[in-house]
């Protein structure tokens, strides 16, 4: 694949060098069919302080997932075991990113994915047929169109199931027997129709706790997964770091040649953090908006402002357009949210503007766009 032509290259392509370097130096024990040992998978996701020597040069393994290191370790061990991994949490808590990183590191493929929607059917999960071939040759492996789950079992890969709770509960349940017996039966193929999963196969599901939640998931299916709840980042400094990292890589991908403004990132991280937690660092009590206040949202607000500044503006971050984009991001769920953010500006930001001045003052003055 040509990297330049992809809007968003998959993880294994983006970090190809790191993965190969890790593979080369990895001396740990590997579960069967894994590309890397659990320790190397951990290093790939959480980064390493010392660079890895590879093909004469050195490769720095950056930290790609911020937050809870123990959670990442639990995920890795779960995947090496007999149960599937279910990542649940608020939208924008990097569940999908974590699942991509895990599958890229473990089996080298992060694209073997089922995208769960309300319209997902059982044959999208198991297999379907190429009808022309089916009519011409009768049921055969050739005529069978394998699903990502089928591919995962056949080749011993991880299958990612995005937004699993968006699919109807009956359809979700088709995973139960596959996950417990590691066998998929294709009755149409007769004796050859039993597909045994190869080692290395497992399922990573992600589920959003906002709209449908995991409550409707059958307990039989729940029992076949280990659940990991991904919490929003609780530290402003860390959130700022994530915003900076993400925006930098987004900008690099889109060839936007513009430096990332740390102060603006901090402004945004603080705003999102305080609105989410309901209390400011000066101690004000704040009404939290009902809209999703995730770090991912903050990244997109920043990035939009950046693009605006790059193409239409003077190549700098404009606080006015930042506030406008903030309005856009916040007005998704209900009207009251905007009022809450207005109150936030009129109390917390006002105090900060008078105390710290500078950027906070500009930020406060830009409140006119909140309408």
- Number of amino acids touching another protein (CB under 8 A): 30
Binding test (CB under 8 A) with another protein, winner from 78, 120, 271, 324 = 78
Within 10 angstroms of residue 152's Cβ, the number of other Cβ atoms is 27
Could you tell me which of 40, 37, 98 has the C-alpha nearest to residue 65?
98
Q: How many helices (H) and strands (E) does the chain have?
A: 18, 11
**39/324 Cα distance (integer angstroms):** 44
Pick one of 21, 52, 124, 214: the residue that binds another protein (CB under 8 A). Answer: 214
CB of 223 to another protein, least distance (A): 7
Cβ 305 vs Cβ 358: under 8 Å: no
Q: How many whole angstroms separate alpha carbon 64 and alpha carbon 245?
A: 9
134 versus 220: smaller Cβ distance to another protein: 220
Residue 228 in contact with another protein, rule: CB under 8 A: yes
Residue 204, phi then psi, degrees to nearest 5: -110, 115
Least distance from C-beta 253 to another protein, angstroms?
30
Minimum separation from the CB atom of position 84 to another protein (A): 11
Provide the minimum distance between the beta carbon of 45 and another protein in the complex, in angstroms, as a whole number.
Answer: 12
Binding residue (CB under 8 A) for another protein from 16, 23, 63, 74: 74
User: Does residue number 210 form part of the binding site for another protein (CB under 8 A)?
Assistant: no
Closest CA to 312 of 329, 324, 297: 324
* Inter-residue contact 337 to 308 (CB < 8 Å): no
- Bridge partners of 205, per DSSP, are 86, 161
83 is an interface residue for another protein by CB under 8 A:
yes
Least gap, CB of 31 to another protein (angstroms)? 9
Site residues (vs another protein, CB under 8 A): 29, 38-39, 42, 46, 69-70, 73-74, 76-78, 80-83, 88-89, 209, 213-215, 217, 219, 222-223, 226-229
């Amino acid at each position: 694949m040509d990297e330049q032509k992809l809007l968003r290259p998959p993880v294994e392509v983006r970090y190809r060098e790191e993965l190969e370097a890790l593979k080369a130096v990895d001396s740990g024990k590997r579960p069967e069919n894994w590309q890397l040992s659990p320790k190397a998978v951990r290093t790939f996701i959480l980064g390493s302080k010392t660079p890895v020597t590879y093909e004469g040069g050195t490769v720095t393994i950056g930290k790609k997932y911020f937050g809870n290191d123990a959670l990442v370790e639990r995920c890795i061990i779960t995947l090496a075991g007999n149960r599937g991994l279910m990542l649940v949490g608020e939208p924008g808590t990097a569940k999908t990113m974590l699942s991509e990183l895990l599958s890229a590191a473990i089996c080298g493929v992060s694209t073997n994915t089922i995208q769960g929607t309300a319209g997902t059917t059982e044959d999208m999960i198991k297999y379907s047929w190429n009808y022309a071939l089916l009519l011409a040759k009768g049921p055969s492996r050739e005529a069978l169109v394998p699903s990502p789950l089928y591919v995962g079992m056949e080749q011993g890969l991880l299958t990612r199931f995005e937004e699993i709770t968006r699919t109807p509960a009956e359809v979700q349940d088709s995973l139960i027997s596959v996950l417990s017996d590691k066998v998929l039966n294709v009755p149409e193929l007769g004796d050859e129709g039993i597909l045994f999963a190869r080692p290395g196969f497992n399922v990573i599901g992600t589920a959003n706790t906002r709209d449908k939640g995991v409550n409707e998931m059958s307990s039989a299916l729940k029992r076949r997964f280990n659940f990991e709840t991904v919490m929003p980042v609780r530290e402003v400094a860390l959130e700022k770091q994530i915003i900076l990292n993400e925006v930098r890589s987004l900008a690099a991908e889109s060839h936007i040649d513009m430096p990332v403004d740390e102060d603006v990132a901090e402004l945004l991280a603080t705003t999102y953090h305080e609105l989410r937690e309901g209390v400011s660092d000066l101690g004000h009590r704040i009404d939290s908006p009902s809209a999703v206040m995730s770090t991912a949202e903050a990244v997109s607000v920043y990035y939009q402002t950046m693009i605006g500044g790059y193409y239409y503006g003077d190549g700098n971050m404009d606080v006015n357009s930042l506030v406008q984009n903030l309005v856009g991001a916040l007005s998704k769920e209900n009207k009251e949210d905007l009022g809450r953010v207005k109150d936030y500006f009129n109390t917390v930001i006002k105090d900060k503007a008078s105390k710290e001045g500078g950027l906070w003052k500009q930020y406060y003055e830009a409140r006119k766009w909140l309408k």
